[in-house]
A = this chain, B = another copy of it.
């Protein structure tokens, strides 16, 4: 695997996804046609659907990738590490900006948060983002089950941990995007993870 062919494919996929995000942020969701996204990347409209099976999927793709990396990292970390420490480390790693930031226009986090909010206001996008999270959650649950020597079909634990981790991530992101407290994700996310790990007794 990882031949030139596949890397080019991934590059095209990333380009389409990025173009979808950028155009949507600029013009709004309904003003962007699939044709536009394809044109921005220099590809035929039909080809777009060879990469993504819906308009929304292209936007959720970046979210999906980030979330999947969390599971992957959990698998490749030191096996002896306590579970929650490994989770914490892997989760924080996802906050580091990836190499795709080069393409990112230099706007501040406020504009970015605003863009996110606008996007998630669109029902179709919200739904697709959640679906991406769900797919990643499944991967995460499998990784955890492997680590703990458990069975996904029989034990609640791996699924519960995976679901709780995603829940904590989502909640932290919501609070961050909404921007009530000025705290950055690097603060909110670990706090949320520690809370779900330790339990949520009535305070």
Q: Which A residues lie at the B interface, using CB under 8 A?
A: 53-54, 82-84, 123, 126-128, 130-131, 133-134, 148, 151, 153-154, 156-157, 159-161, 163-164, 166-168, 170-172, 174-175, 178, 180-181, 188, 191-192, 195-203
Partner of A156 from B126, B166, B172 at Cβ < 8 Å: B172
Q: How many copies does the complex hold?
A: 2
CB proximity of A93 to chain B, nearest CB, Å:
20
Residue A123 contacts which of B123, B131, B195 (CB distance < 8 angstroms)?
B131
* List of B residues within 8 angstroms of A83 by Cβ: 202
B53 touches A123 (CB 8 A): yes
The secondary structure that dominates the A interface is helix
Cβ–Cβ contact A180 & B154, under 8 A: yes
Quick check: A170 and B163 within 8 Å, CB to CB? Answer: yes
Residues of B within 8 A of A157 (CB): 195, 200, 203
**Contact between chains at B161 and A200 (CB < 8 Å):** yes
B-chain residues with CB within 8 Å of residue A123 when the two chains form the complex = 53-54, 131
Whether B163 and A178, one on each chain, are in contact in the complex, defined by CB atoms closer than 8 angstroms, is: no
- List, in ascending order, chain B residues with CB within 8 A of A168's CB: 160, 163
A199 to B174, CA, bound (A): 22
CB distance from A59 to the nearest CB of B (A): 13
| Interface pairs (19), CB distance under 8 Å | A53-B123, A84-B202, A126-B131, A126-B134, A127-B127, A130-B130, A151-B180, A153-B181, A154-B181, A156-B175, A156-B191, A157-B200, A159-B174, A159-B175, A160-B168, A196-B199, A197-B200, A197-B201, A199-B200
